[in-house]
């Protein structure tokens, strides 16, 4: 797919934060699924978006059942880069649990994720941190 990057950047300027976040993730996933490699900064942004969507939809169980450990390292790096320290701690702990228990819970929910899910839902979301980070690095992310 051929994306007009100038038009996309202009469109992003007028969108609400939620729509901005969605459009950036959509662009990055399109690039990824077109078989083009993503840069480190692009992987961090899209991986934190995937983490959000999966955990808010079905908890850390869903994140790992759908993705195994494909996105967690980049999500951890992104959370660190955005300054989302409380979410960073949860992501690191989730990875430890996943690696420890992945053979035990291949198709069932892992009860050790439940406290992490609860904390994830309780915290003030870091989406604004990601959005501000993307806006500050837009030319590196939309390229």
How many Å apart are CA 80 and CA 102, to the nearest integer?
A: 24
How many Å apart are CA 20 and CA 129, to the nearest integer?
A: 13
CATH 1.20.1420.60 describes domain 5-141? yes
- Residue 1 reports pLDDT greater than 70: no
Confidence of residue 89 (pLDDT cuts 50, 70, 90): very high
For residues 105-124, give the mean pLDDT.
93
**pLDDT tens-digit map of 55-75:** 999 999 999 999 989 999 999
How many Å apart are CA 97 and CA 101, to the nearest integer?
A: 6
3-state helix, strand, coil in the chain (%, to 5): 75, 0, 25
**pLDDT tens-digit map of 7-45:** 999 999 999 999 999 999 999 999 999 999 999 999 999
């Amino acid at each position: 797919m051929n994306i007009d990057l100038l038009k996309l950047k202009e469109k992003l300027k007028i969108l609400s934060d939620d729509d901005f976040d969605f459009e950036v993730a959509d662009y990055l996933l399109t690039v990824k699924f077109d078989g083009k490699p993503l840069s480190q900064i692009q992987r961090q942004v899209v991986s934190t978006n995937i983490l959000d969507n999966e955990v808010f939809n079905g908890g850390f169980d869903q994140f790992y059942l759908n993705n195994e450990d494909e996105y967690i390292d980049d999500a951890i790096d992104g959370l660190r880069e955005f300054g989302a320290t409380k979410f960073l701690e949860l992501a690191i702990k989730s990875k430890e649990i996943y690696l420890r228990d992945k053979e035990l819970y291949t198709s069932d929910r892992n009860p050790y994720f439940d406290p992490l899910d609860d904390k994830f839902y309780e915290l003030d979301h870091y989406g604004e941190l990601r959005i501000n980070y993307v806006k500050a690095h837009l030319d590196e992310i939309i390229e």
